[in-house]
Amino acid sequence: MKVLFTFVPREDQQQRLTNEFPEVQFHFAKQDKSLLPEAEIVVTYGEDLSSEDIEKAKKLKWIMVVSAGVEKMPHKAIQERGIIVSNVRGIHKTPMSESVLAHLLSLKRSLPVLYENQRKKEWNRRVGSSELKGSTALVIGPGAIGAEIGRLLQAFGVYTIGCNRSGVSAEFMDEMVRFHNIMEALPKADIVISVVPSTKETKNMLKQEHFQAMNSDAIFMNFGRGDLVENAVLLEALNKEEIAFAVLDVFEEEPLPSHHPFWEMNNVIISPHVSSHSSKYVERSLDVFIPNLKKWLAEDPNPSNLVNMEKGY
Amino acid sequence: MKVLFTFVPREDQQQRLTNEFPEVQFHFAKQDKSLLPEAEIVVTYGEDLSSEDIEKAKKLKWIMVVSAGVEKMPHKAIQERGIIVSNVRGIHKTPMSESVLAHLLSLKRSLPVLYENQRKKEWNRRVGSSELKGSTALVIGPGAIGAEIGRLLQAFGVYTIGCNRSGVSAEFMDEMVRFHNIMEALPKADIVISVVPSTKETKNMLKQEHFQAMNSDAIFMNFGRGDLVENAVLLEALNKEEIAFAVLDVFEEEPLPSHHPFWEMNNVIISPHVSSHSSKYVERSLDVFIPNLKKWLAEDPNPSNLVNMEKGY
């Protein structure tokens, strides 16, 4: 049986796979898809498969996506063929929550100012630091990642409000609000963090009125998907100082075009969709893949973290 | 009775004092010491009183220092007059521990790289992020501040080793080591943080051999006092890459001279002794001062956090 990786893991990680599964032929090939017609399993970051690829991949039965989002995959072609899709939901929570806290603490403790002053060799003690403690954070979409962010925020003495469609309680949230009632919660929040995936419901979910309702000192963080809010809406909120800061890991268009005003704005931090990156990422993906491949070889085609391609998550 | 502040709190903070103590005359005067002869109590950051000032301050009975260190005060003149000195020990732990975590997370999640790439308008996803989780930290001097740092590190899944003279257990430390045995602990640590005050014992306490024993990936953080290690020793350790990074909030000489090599080193972060700064600092100092002033007015001259001017803390 052949397994095609559309990226190349480290040497020791390849070794781990071949040692564990001597009966399987692994191919690690970035961009080279010539082996697609023979592969039963494809392991991919989920951005490099077209519907033509699916058509060529006659033997393909399982796509293992080492990412959380599947919105760039050819849903229709995959569904028609009944190909199983699974992902690595859950492995993003550590790097992403550390990134969220890194950005928040960096702003509160004036690290960008310190770095800038060091570049100028300037000993300047007027850096205007404040504290994270005592803030209130609104977490939109408190799933596994949001809960981990909530846990860390609470450790810093931050009051957490979770926001989802149902208003059903979520872990590490001091209180919950239904998205329907978000307007009541927005003025209370010093920090508004979105970690929602891209679905029909979340597209352009945040509008002008929501930013107008936010605290003018608020930090808005989009670590979910870029289509949560239109660039123009966010840009206006920042220019009108309806909010104080935006930390953006995702954008309507990625890469963010080089002429976009966000790049030069003092109240915007650009993180080029790297908040889930980690030197431990591929290792953890293999921790998910290996037990699933064992089951697969034992004729149990039910990998963990199955993705419903109709719902999109 | 007259109370002289040698700095000017915010309007609302002044109001808080005058509302609480209508019988007391408060004077808020930066640099202007003309009221010293009449003041029974002086509230100061502790860097602006000379022995001549103490002589002039005929009625002075209590100096409230809204800082932790008292090394810049005229010890002899104060002791001779039997003037009570108290400080705000304890109010630094929140801003300092947030600063320590901010710097660690910023380095692990590559924030300096992100900021630099944004300046260059460069969408570059190869930022080399890693994680704080799973690290081991050695905290030298785990008192109130060190414990708070330990608590937050543990929340991030960091294993904490405390180091003090006695080896007696300290809060939020997974294990303890006596300073006498620090050489055994140094190679295990990914992060070495000092928060020790300046005393006879801690002066030049860390030497070449200690840096040689550290992990070459280690981040060294000095957030205590600058005389813990000689500049030359630290410089050599960084140049020889015996450690990966130094984050320095304190220095042998402050301000750090503009010609010092630290300014331009890629593996040094300079924080100009601001890790305890916070917009909430004066507010919290008043939270300590007000109950003490109430006691004072009730003829109970024993403010909290009395400083022993002989010991220096």
Q: What is the pLDDT along chain A (313 residues), one digit of tens a residue?
A: 999 999 999 999 999 999 999 999 999 998 888 999 999 999 999 989 999 999 999 999 999 999 877 888 999 999 999 999 999 988 999 999 999 999 999 999 999 999 999 999 999 999 999 999 999 999 999 999 999 999 999 999 999 999 999 999 999 999 999 999 999 999 999 999 999 877 788 899 999 999 999 999 999 999 999 999 999 999 999 999 999 999 999 999 999 999 999 999 999 999 999 999 999 999 999 999 999 999 999 999 899 989 988 777 7
Specify whether the CB–CB gap between A78 and A310 falls below 8 A.
no
Kindly determine whether residue A114 and residue B269, on different chains, have CB atoms separated by under 8 Å: yes
- The pLDDT value recorded for residue B201 is 82
Residues B2-91+279-297: name the CATH superfamily: NAD(P)-binding Rossmann-like Domain (3.40.50.720)
User: Nearest CA to CA, how far is A42 from chain B (Å)?
Assistant: 24
- The pLDDT value recorded for residue B69 is 72
- The pLDDT value recorded for residue A110 is 98
Which residue among B103, B155, B278 sits closest to A152, beta carbon to beta carbon? B155
Return all residues near B259 (Cβ < 8 A) that are at least 6 apart: none
For B129, list phi and psi in degrees, rounded to 5.
-75, 145
User: Nearest CA to CA, how far is A147 from chain B (Å)?
Assistant: 13
- How many other CB atoms are there within 10 angstroms of residue B207's CB atom? 11
Terminal CA-to-CA distance of chain A, rounded, Å? 28
Nearest chain B alpha carbon to A275: B109
CA distance A53 to B58: 89
CA distance B242 to B275: 25
For residue B255, pLDDT over 90 is answered with yes
**B104 confidence band (pLDDT: 50, 70, 90):** very high
CB-CB neighbors (< 8 A) of A152 in chain B: 155-156
Report residue A102 as tokens: 């890194």
Which residue among B101, B270, B277 sits closest to A105, beta carbon to beta carbon? B101
What is the edge-to-edge ordering of all strands in the sheet holding B25-28? B25-28, B2-5, B41-44, B62-65, B84-87
Q: What is the mean pLDDT of chain B?
A: 94
- The pLDDT value recorded for residue B33 is 87
Which residue among A106, A121, A270 sits closest to B118, beta carbon to beta carbon? A270
For residue B313, pLDDT over 90 is answered with no
Cis previous bond, B187, omega within 30: no
* DSSP letter (8 states) at residue A37: G
Nearest chain A alpha carbon to B268: A118
CB-CB neighbors (< 8 A) of B95 in chain A: 109, 129, 131
Arithmetic mean of pLDDT, B84-90: 91
Return all residues near B215 (Cβ < 8 A) that are at least 6 apart: B186, B187, B188, B189, B190, B243
Arithmetic mean of pLDDT, B153-169: 96
DSSP conformation letters of chain B: -EEEESS---HHHHHHHHHH-TTSEEEE-SS--TTGGG-SEEEE-SSS--HHHHHH-TT--EEEESSS--TTS-HHHHHHHT-EEEE-TTTTHHHHHHHHHHHHHHHHTTHHHHHHHHHTT----------STT-EEEEES-SHHHHHHHHHHHHTT-EEEEEESS----TT-SEEEEGGGHHHHGGG-SEEEE-----TTTTT-S-HHHHHHS-TTPEEEE-S-GGGS-HHHHHHHHHTTSSSEEEES--SSSSPPTT-GGGG-TTEEE--S-TT--TTHHHHHHHHHHHHHHHHHTT----SSB--TTTT-
Q: Which residues pair with B176 in a beta bridge?
A: B162
Kindly determine whether residue B118 and residue A94, on different chains, have CB atoms separated by under 8 Å: no
User: Nearest CA to CA, how far is A123 from chain B (Å)?
Assistant: 6
Q: In the CATH hierarchy, which fold is given to the domain comprising B93-270?
A: Rossmann fold (3.40.50)
- The pLDDT value recorded for residue A197 is 76
CB-CB neighbors (< 8 A) of A102 in chain B: 102, 105-106, 108-109, 111
Report residue A193 as tokens: 């963090």
CA distance A224 to A221: 9
- The pLDDT value recorded for residue A69 is 74
ipTM of the complex: 0.90
What is the edge-to-edge ordering of all strands in the sheet holding B175-178? B175-178, B159-164, B136-140, B191-194, B219-222, B245-248, B268-270
Kindly determine whether residue B272 and residue A127, on different chains, have CB atoms separated by under 8 Å: yes
pLDDT tens digits, one per residue of B282-299: 999 999 999 999 999 999
Kindly determine whether residue B270 and residue A131, on different chains, have CB atoms separated by under 8 Å: no
Kindly determine whether residue A269 and residue B108, on different chains, have CB atoms separated by under 8 Å: no
Kindly determine whether residue A109 and residue B98, on different chains, have CB atoms separated by under 8 Å: yes
Question: Which of these, A4, A3, A26, lies nearest to A14 by C-alpha position?
Answer: A26
CA distance A202 to B24: 58
Kindly determine whether residue B274 and residue A125, on different chains, have CB atoms separated by under 8 Å: yes
User: Nearest CA to CA, how far is B211 from chain A (Å)?
Assistant: 24
Kindly determine whether residue A111 and residue B110, on different chains, have CB atoms separated by under 8 Å: no
Q: Which SS3 state, helix, strand or coil, does residue A158 take?
A: coil
CA distance A124 to B263: 13
Nearest chain A alpha carbon to B251: A123
**B90 confidence band (pLDDT: 50, 70, 90):** confident
Work out how many CB contacts closer than 8 A connect A with B.
146
CA A238 vs. chain centroid, Å, equals 23
Which residue among A101, A256, A279 sits closest to B123, beta carbon to beta carbon? A256
User: Nearest CA to CA, how far is A118 from chain B (Å)?
Assistant: 6
User: Nearest CA to CA, how far is B256 from chain A (Å)?
Assistant: 7
Which residue among A102, A156, A255 sits closest to B111, beta carbon to beta carbon? A102
- The pLDDT value recorded for residue A90 is 85
Q: Where in chain A is the domain with CATH 3.40.50.720?
A: 2-91+279-297, 93-270
Question: Which of these, A141, A199, A131, A207, lies nearest to A170 by C-alpha position?
Answer: A141
User: Nearest CA to CA, how far is B172 from chain A (Å)?
Assistant: 13
Helix (H) or strand (E) holding A56: helix A51-56
pLDDT over 90 percentage in chain B: 87
Nearest chain B alpha carbon to A102: B105
CB-CB neighbors (< 8 A) of A255 in chain B: 123
CB-CB neighbors (< 8 A) of A128 in chain B: 279
CB-CB neighbors (< 8 A) of A112 in chain B: 115
For residue B171, pLDDT over 80 is answered with yes
CA distance A196 to A184: 19
Kindly determine whether residue B109 and residue A118, on different chains, have CB atoms separated by under 8 Å: no
CB-CB neighbors (< 8 A) of A273 in chain B: 125
Report residue A163 as tokens: 């926001």
User: Nearest CA to CA, how far is B166 from chain A (Å)?
Assistant: 29
pLDDT tens digits, one per residue of B175-234: 999 999 999 999 999 999 999 876 778 889 999 999 999 999 999 999 999 999 999 999
Name the pairing type of β-strands A2-5 and A41-44. Answer: parallel
